[in-house]
């Protein structure tokens, strides 16, 4: 015999769900609001009743009671083309989304690169619309973190903008990876394999990630007993085309280079393309090390030796910090730096 789900003709109520589940109204409310103070059996009964009745919580009514919107914003200070086209952003959004599944919160995503985009986003970022904000890919001395704190909105940064690298300038809540340490690992790896003229393609210097990965390169060069020189440093914006352009500049300024540490996998893919075009064999003539260990690294020709950074974990930890702030629970590690590691492949 087939069991048919019965749905009420009107909008199902909290009381109807409670009656169907055989529990009190308060138990249903706790389940709907994501409270852990519900037994597994009661939670299962309530969830089954919600499904059978087609109950949909009234978010507006809940917001009046809880003073929360159950929404968080992810604001990325880049163009939509980059956000939807680069593996880093896809990975961090996966991490953020997976962590939010354990909460009643929903995510909305905004790109805020142009002045018009910034104005719209800043207008929307209030406690009437979201409970908290995740900020990613900030540049320069971006005023947005300070603005949100003044509005009383819990905020967590993913990575630090260049203007916040000073100890006294760091925000109280952020998640980043050990960019300087990872870069040192990558450059040391090249020197340990007998390379003598190690160049770098650095990231944009208005971003903390660009500054710290260049710092790691410079520290490793000095630790190897060499003096960094300008002819061995070129800059890109983390895109593949910028990596190709920077590689051409390096071959012009330092034609005897025998290795290059590249501050992102995408830029390294561009560098590999140029090296093929000019007939430099990788790794025989020039060894290449990237940074990220996104899927493109393993698909490169040759497969790219790179520095792994835990991008999805970064997203999950950003959510953990933000949820703690929203719930007014002081996290034990409000400033988190995640470790990196080398991933050897055929390019170095």
Model confidence at 37, pLDDT cuts 50, 70, 90, reads confident
Residue 326: other Cβ atoms inside 10 A? 18
What would the pLDDT profile of 277-288 be if each residue is shown by its tens digit?
999 999 999 999
Where do the structural domains in the chain lie, given as residue ranges?
A: 14-57, 71-177+312-340, 179-309
Please compute the mean of the pLDDT values over residues 178-195 and round it to a whole number: 97
Q: Is 74 a residue whose pLDDT tops 70?
A: yes
Residue 163: other Cβ atoms inside 10 A? 17
Q: Is 66 a residue whose pLDDT tops 70?
A: no
Two domains, one topology: 14-57 and 179-309? no
Q: What is the pLDDT of residue 140?
A: 84
Whole-model pTM over 0.85: no
Fold category of 14-57 in CATH = 434 Repressor (Amino-terminal Domain) (1.10.260)
Give the architecture-level CATH label for domain 71-177+312-340: 3-Layer(aba) Sandwich (3.40)
Q: Is 55 a residue whose pLDDT tops 60?
A: yes
> How much of the chain exceeds pLDDT 70, in percent?
91
Please compute the mean of the pLDDT values over residues 235-247 and round it to a whole number: 97
Please compute the mean of the pLDDT values over residues 303-321 and round it to a whole number: 97
Please compute the mean of the pLDDT values over residues 106-134 and round it to a whole number: 88
CB 90 within 8 A of CB 124: no
Model confidence at 57, pLDDT cuts 50, 70, 90, reads low
Please compute the mean of the pLDDT values over residues 5-30 and round it to a whole number: 77
Please compute the mean of the pLDDT values over residues 113-140 and round it to a whole number: 88
Please compute the mean of the pLDDT values over residues 106-132 and round it to a whole number: 87
Residue entry with tokens 């003598």: 196
Which whole-number Å values give the CA distances from 158 to 100, 135, 145, 164, 255, in the listed order?
16, 6, 11, 12, 37
Strand partners, 157: 135, 174
What does 288-319 look like in DSSP terms, one character per residue? Answer: EEEEE--HHHHHSSSPPEEEE--HHHHHHHHH
What does 180-223 look like in DSSP terms, one character per residue? Answer: HHHHHHHHHHHHHTT--SEEEEE--TTBHHHHHHHHHHHHHHHH
Q: What is the pLDDT of residue 62?
A: 52
Q: What is the pLDDT of residue 36?
A: 72
Q: Which of 128, 291, 89 is nearest to 210 (CA)?
A: 291
CATH number of 179-309: 3.40.50.2300
The strands making up 198-202's β-sheet, listed across from edge to edge, are 233-235, 198-202, 259-262, 287-292, 305-308, 341-343
């Amino acid at each position: 015999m087939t069991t048919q789900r019965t749905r009420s003709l009107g909008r199902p109520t909290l009381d109807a769900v409670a009656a169907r589940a055989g529990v009190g109204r308060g138990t249903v409310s706790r389940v709907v609001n994501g409270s852990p103070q519900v037994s597994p059996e009661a939670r299962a009964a309530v969830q089954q009743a919600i499904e059978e009745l087609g109950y949909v919580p009234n978010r507006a009514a809940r917001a009046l009671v809880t003073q929360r919107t159950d929404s968080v914003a992810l604001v990325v200070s880049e163009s939509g083309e980059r956000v939807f086209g680069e593996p880093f952003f896809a990975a961090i959004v996966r991490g953020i989304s997976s962590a939010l599944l354990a909460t009643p919160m929903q995510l909305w995503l905004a790109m805020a690169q142009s002045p018009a985009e910034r104005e719209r986003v800043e207008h929307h970022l209030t406690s009437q619309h979201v409970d908290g904000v995740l900020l990613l890919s900030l540049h320069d001395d971006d005023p947005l973190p300070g603005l949100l704190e003044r509005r009383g909105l819990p905020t967590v940064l993913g990575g630090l903008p260049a203007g916040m690298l000073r100890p006294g300038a760091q925000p109280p809540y952020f998640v980043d990876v050990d960019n300087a340490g990872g870069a040192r690992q990558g450059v040391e790896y090249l020197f340990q394999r007998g390379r003598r003229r190690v160049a770098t393609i650095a990231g944009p210097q208005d971003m903390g990630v660009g500054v710290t990965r260049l710092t790691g390169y410079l520290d490793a060069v000095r630790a190897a007993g060499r003096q960094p020189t300008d002819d061995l440093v070129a800059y890109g914006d983390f895109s593949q085309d910028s990596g190709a352009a920077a590689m051409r500049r390096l071959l012009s300024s330092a034609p005897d280079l025998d290795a290059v540490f590249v501050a992102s996998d995408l830029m390294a893919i561009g560098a590999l393309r140029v090296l093929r075009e000019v007939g430099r064999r990788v790794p025989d003539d020039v060894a290449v090390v990237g940074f990220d260990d996104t899927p493109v690294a393993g698909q490169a020709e040759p497969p790219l030796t790179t520095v792994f950074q835990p991008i999805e974990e970064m997203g999950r930890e950003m959510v953990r910090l933000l949820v703690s702030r929203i719930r007014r629970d002081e996290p034990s590690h409000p400033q988190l730096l995640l470790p990196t590691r080398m991933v050897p492949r055929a390019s170095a």
